[in-house]
Amino acid sequence: MSRHLASLGAACLVLAFTFTGNAAAQGTLSSADIADALRRARAAAEAGQSEEAIRLVNPVIAQFPGHRQATAIKIEAEIASHDRNAALMTYERYVKAGEPEDASLLAPIARATLVDMASNHDDPMSIPALEALAAAGDKTARATLLAPAARFAGRPVPPEVRARLGDAAALADVKELADQGPASSRGAAIRTLKELGASAGVGPVLRRALGDPDVLVRLTAADAIGALRLREAEPELTAALRDRTLLLRILAASALKAIGETAGDQVLRDGLRSPLPDARLAAARALADDPRETGWVDVVRPILDTQDGLYRFEAAELLLDVDRPAAIQVLVKGLTDPNLSVRGETARILAANSDTDVGVLRVSLRDGAPWPRLYSAGAILNRAAHEPRGAGSTRPPGR
């Protein structure tokens, strides 16, 4: 009799366990069950037990595919298991459940993408990845780049990178490179000075660069002066209106317009009629900032259909504030183009635009090439830092 009762008790336990498992599978977890599963999953994740954490949240996600807390725990656990692809799939299932795109939920995947790139100091991508992490507030990445003995592929960190991170000595080196370095270094140094802004005391260097014997250096300097609106460069810009190179004349006119001068306006209007796409785009870019000028739009629209180089993507960038649907269509198509240069350029443009949808940005997280991934990951981290967690979500409280 006692053996019979014992067998009956064991059978009841099996039935109870089976019922609980079936209940979870059928989506009947109670609020208390979910709270307990999340608590235990967090503890497991903190203890480094990633598989256990995933096992505990899976029934919750099965019942509520849009459960944010469970999804966040699973993503973190999958990243801890070095499986970024699984983490991205988990995020995508969350969005497919009807939840809004969520930069802060996607941010751990973006961060892991950059950390992976930065981990091998012999890889040329390690410095850009560390710089992107530093820009997102990663103090360790910043310290790594600024360390005096830092070496990447056997070479020190370029002064341009250190200057962007606030190293005053590196800024002096960059100014010297812009003045006296080889032509290729002068151009790169001037682009860095443009990024650093007028407050870095870059005016004298850029003004001198407008008289550089190398036309590419002069072009870079004119572009930087216009972006920084350096009024003190007006004499050099006016002189550049007589340069033999059409694109330089247009960039000088653009810079003059940026500081409120009209001496180059006719050069810009003539530029719109140039047979050269880059000249038309440069002129349009200058005129786009003037609400009184509208003719440039009809000049730029047809360039969206050209297959010549990267011009259509530059045109799309210009039209983002005028005809966003048409521009986005071109740029999104570029994200999956077989040409790496196209994918990199479109990823850069979309990452730089603060209105780009997070769902568009995450497309490049799956790119097999590093630059699209880097642009996308950096933009997602920046978005997560400046948006409330779960911004735009309509999920019920507690989820």
Rounded Cα gap, residues 298 and 93, in angstroms: 41
- Looking up residue 69, the CATH number of its domain turns out to be 1.25.40
In whole angstroms, give the CA distance from residue 234 to residue 140.
42
User: 190: number of CA atoms within 13 Å, CB side?
Assistant: 31
- Residues 180 and 206 sit within 8 Å (Cβ to Cβ): no
The per-residue pLDDT for 116 is 96
Count of CB atoms within 10 A of residue 267's CB?
Answer: 20
Q: pLDDT 10s digit of each residue in the chain, 399 long?
A: 444 444 444 444 333 333 334 444 445 899 999 999 999 999 999 999 999 999 999 999 999 999 999 999 999 999 999 999 999 999 999 999 999 999 999 999 999 999 999 999 999 999 999 999 999 999 999 999 999 999 999 999 999 999 999 999 999 999 999 999 998 899 999 999 999 998 878 999 999 999 999 999 999 999 999 999 999 999 999 999 999 999 999 999 999 999 999 999 999 999 999 999 999 999 999 999 888 888 999 999 999 999 887 999 999 999 999 999 999 999 999 999 999 999 999 999 999 999 999 999 999 999 999 999 999 999 999 999 987 665 434 343 345
Number of domains composing the chain: 1
The dihedral sign for the CA sequence 226, 232, 234, 237: negative
> 39: helix, coil or strand?
helix
Domain coverage including residue 32: 24-100
User: What pLDDT score does 13 carry?
Assistant: 37
- Separation of alpha carbons 65 and 97, rounded Å: 6
Q: Let me know if 78 is exposed, middle or buried by CB neighbors in 10 A (0-12, 13-18, 19+).
A: buried
DSSP per-residue string spanning 354-391: TTS-HHHHGGGGG-SSHHHHHHHHHHHHHHHHHS-TTT
Query: Is the distance from CB of 188 to CB of 175 less than 8 angstroms?
Result: no
The letter for the amino acid at 379 is A
Instruction: Give the sign of the dihedral formed by CA 279, CA 282, CA 287, CA 288.
Output: positive
pTM listed for this prediction:
0.86
DSSP string, 70-129: HHHHHHHHHHHTT-HHHHHHHHHHHHHTTPPP-HHHHHHHHHHHHHHHHT-TTSTTHHHH
**31 Cβ contact list (under 8 Å, min separation 6):** none
pLDDT score of 292: 87
Paired tokens of 189: 């140094």
Q: How far apart are CA 177 and CA 69, in angstroms?
A: 50
Asked if residue 284 lies in contact with residue 318, where contact means CB atoms within 8 angstroms, the answer is yes
Contact 131, 142 (CB under 8 A): no
What are the angstrom distances between the C-alpha of 303 and each of 296, 309, 312, 352? 11, 11, 5, 21
The answer to whether position 58 is within a domain reads yes
- Name the β-bridge partners of 151: 156
Over the range 164-173, which residues count as b (16 or more CB within 10 Å of their CB) and which as e?
Answer: bbebeebbeb
**Cα–Cα distance, 363 to 372 (Å, whole number):** 9
Structure tokens at 115: 């950390």
Q: List residues bridging with 152 in a β-sheet.
A: 155
pLDDT of residue 78: 98
